[in-house]
Structure 1
Amino acid sequence: MKKLVSLFVVLCVISTSYAQEFELPKNYKLVKAEDYDTYAQDFVKATKWITNTPLSEETTKRKDTYAFIMKWLQGSPKVSITISQDIATFIESSDCLIVYMAGWGAYCVENDDYKDNLKGNVSGIESVISFYNRNKGLLGKIKAVEKYKKLQKKGKLASYIESKL
């Protein structure tokens, strides 16, 4: 039991230090297709940062990071996200929506898989669940995310999302 608690503490410290170490690229330019590849890993790091950092911390940095993520997603020649109202049922939360899109995009970059809508959606929803769990006190209860949490716990998240595609 002591080892489990120690492992948990170490993971928390690593997660916290990772979130604090992220730096948004300065003077980034997203014009040509090559620019998006140049900043792909920064995009992934930004996604992890917004997912793991509480909403109440570094609000200016969060706003700037959201802008970078949205600009990268909108212009990326490889990543194409189709938002379905049947899946992104938490659309009233702009924070959750950005985390969802970023999680999908990060899946694409990390796995070099730009075509699998199911896996992209699942990754996006899993990012939202993680973000929601960390920020529920600030976000309030979001029924749609609660539903996804239950499906994930039962191991039925992917099959449910697949039924909505």
Structure 2
Amino acid sequence: MKKLFLLIAILLPAAPMLSAQPIVPVQGKMVTREDYQRYEQDVVKTIDWLQETPWKQDPQLYSKATSFLFKWIQGTPTITMELMPPLVDLTDQNNKLMASFIGGYTKYAIQHPVYLKEDANMAAVKALFDKYRAEPDHKKDSDIEHLLKLEKEGTLKDWVINEYEKVTQNQ
């Protein structure tokens, strides 16, 4: 009984660290629609981990998690991302923010199977903002700072919708 309590006392503090790992399938086979659907919850968990984990905490695992997310979003037949150039420009100073942007879009699309691309882009921008604010190693970016100001003024959604309309009109 003493050994059981000792084991629990040792493992209990480590439990949050064990559950906080991203789900990155090592031998993940993604070919069919069902393959991609099978990994949706793993993708969401990985997105959450990428959002919560500082870039320098575990760079190797961060890279693997990002690669898994990018591989999944590039191949999934259920989600089509339309990246607007002004939004992609938000990652030019901090390229690791692209994982937050794509993750925010992807998570929104998974959780809302019928969605508007403007809403998914808005979720992507908010995820990027959250990571930018929380990341101790980010470089200051005037484009992001400008959009943070628009968010504070309550006009960010209008900006996202206007930029989306510009892109769709040019297609």
TM-score range, shorter chain: 0.7 to 0.9
1:91 aligns with 2:91: yes
Matched pairs, number: 148
Alignment deviations for residues 113-140 of structure 1 (CA, whole Å, 9 cap, x no partner):
3x511001000000000111111x3121
Q: Secondary structure at the match of 2:29?
A: coil
Aligned-residue RMSD, C-alpha: 1.8
Question: What fraction of aligned residue pairs are identical, expressed as a percent?
Answer: 21
1:62 aligns with 2:62: yes
* Comparing 35-44 and 78-87, the one that deviates more: 78-87
TM-score normalized with structure 1 length: 0.82
Q: Secondary structure at the match of 2:88?
A: coil
Matches within 5 A, 1:1-165: 20-92=20-92, 93-113=94-114, 115-135=115-135, 137-165=136-164
CA–CA distance in 2 between the matches of 1:101 and 1:51? 11
TM-score normalized with structure 2 length: 0.79
Q: Secondary structure at the match of 2:137?
A: helix
Letter in 1 for 2:124: G
**Can you give the 5+ residue segments of structure 2 that lack an aligned partner in the other structure?**
1-15, 165-171
Q: Secondary structure at the match of 2:134?
A: helix
CA–CA distance in 1 between the matches of 2:21 and 2:52? 12
Q: CA deviation at 1:87?
A: 2.6
Higher Cα radius of gyration? 2
